[in-house]
Chain A
């Protein structure tokens, strides 16, 4: 028992010492470059301004070139030792596409070859990335905040080596003190690198903003396209359906009017026809309206609309919703059509016989779960219905999670944050 504890402690000290050395090596590279450059300048003659040209260039190039690798190493070490993953937040390259002119477009400029386009894109991303400023700041902070602390065990070892190589009581005392400091500090000295990394290496406000702008630009494009398609669909439905029928209706009535005196029997038949036509166009309009915005949604809100939908569904669907909701119409509509699509999938693809819809509130999130007892195997394919649904939820910062093992059951969870709850 005691032996085992002692063994664990020794291992702790050794591992700690090794990690401290790594932290020092990673964080002190740039200070070392600076120190080297200053030493070089002094050696060449501190009073002569020309002897400082080379050291200044060395410092600039060294700092700029090394800051990103240093950050990368720190991120890697922290993830490996503590499991804390710090997102890098560097800007990612967009697609390089070939245009009809034969030139390549990389999001910034046109290039003659795809290699040039990729190189150019890399350079521009590398030097226009707001993460560069964060990296520079971090290398300065981590050297003081984590590097110096991690250097304590090394300093202890150095003191011990110096002390024991000298003779007399005082040097030996320094040596013993060095050993004690090194051993005691080793298990802890590397640890500050984690909080410092988490605090200063995460995405800065400017980076988060840049990401958000990219995301929103993509979403806006999506929404515009989807909206235009929807309007075209409605126009086509009205044009081919109700409008055409009303024209036919008018014709029937006009003819009936003409025939009223000469052939009342045929006139009456035409009137009946007109009535049937009016009823059919109403049915068509009702279906169209149902697809744009179901009237129950407007009259009763999300939960009753979902209940009404569940009643009409060919599945046996139960609805669990014990919450009071009054949501913004766009969110309500997105969730309603999301649920409708999921239930339809359960009927069409999963061949389910029962379903369950749960609507709940979790803090400031609305959580909707749709389960079925079908055969499972649903996944999000690019261009598929689920991908479209996920995209429509992303507009509200919502998420879609699916668990659907082959053989079922399928469970889909939609979550949308909503501050008005």
Chain B
């Protein structure tokens, strides 16, 4: 994969580039500020970009803005956002266009390099990948209570893992269930949530969206 890395702290940027290259992917460009990030994304159109939220010049949410701006120019440009903190608010903004290709993780998720690269590949393929911390915040917040009322406990945990972006196979491994059992749960869940799209990848994006955009 051709990857752009946008991160203002040299040590982190360097470490990330080395990690990605160790897994045999190519880092085509790096950026250290918001404007640089936007330029790099539009110039290189990478297979996936890793973008830090807080960057110069303002040290506010320049990275996030750059990613959103780039996705307006190039719809569905895959972006994985990294941050020291995760907010449902930002997750909603990222998913609002409904085209997928979005990842949103805490920076420490790179500690587990295998899972991190796995998530990067899922995002590059147009899926969504969310940090478990985002999902945990979602599940404990009052706004999702009403939506989740109709789901059984098992469907609940499947939904959480699916919102993290895991495949049926991976969810099955986590819950010690067969893949066919998981697909039975997901079908009943899609029904309860009123999601009828056939394309299964898109359907997963919709699940996260329903989850997040529920008022």
Contacts and interface: CB of A to CB of B under 8 A. Distances in A.
Nearest to A290: B85
A339 to B, nearest CB: 15
B118 interface: no
A286 B84 contact: yes
B89 A289 contact: no
Contacts of B187: none
B200 interface: no
A234 interface: no
A314 B61 contact: no
B89 A299 contact: no
What range describes how many residues of B lie at the interface? 20 to 34
Contacts of B60: 298-300
Nearest to A314: B142
Say what secondary structure dominates the interface of chain A.
Answer: helix
A315 B90 CA distance: 19
Interface in B141-182: 141-143, 145-146
A352 to B, nearest CB: 10
A312 B86 CA distance: 11
B85 A311 contact: no
A278 interface: yes
Given A299-B61, A314-B142, A307 B111 contact: no
Contact of A275 (B53, B90, B111): B111
A308 B111 contact: no
A223 interface: no
Given A289-B85, A300-B60, A308-B87, A313 B108 contact: no
A155 B209 CA distance: 87
B85 A314 contact: no
A98 to B, nearest CB: 51
A275 B112 CA distance: 8
B137 interface: yes
Most chain A CB within 10 A, of B53, B87, B112, B141, is at B87
B145 A308 contact: no
Given A282-B108, A299-B53, A300-B60, A316 B87 contact: no
B141 A311 contact: yes
A311 B146 CA distance: 14
Interface in A312-327: 312-317
B88 A295 contact: no
A313 B140 CA distance: 8
A316 B142 contact: yes
A304 interface: yes
Contact of A304 (B89, B108, B140, B145): B89
A278 B111 contact: yes
Given A289-B85, A300-B61, 17 more contacts: A275-B111, A275-B112, A278-B108, A282-B108, A295-B54, A295-B85, A296-B89, A298-B59, A299-B54, A299-B60, A300-B60, A308-B90, A312-B87, A312-B88, A312-B137, A313-B142, A314-B142
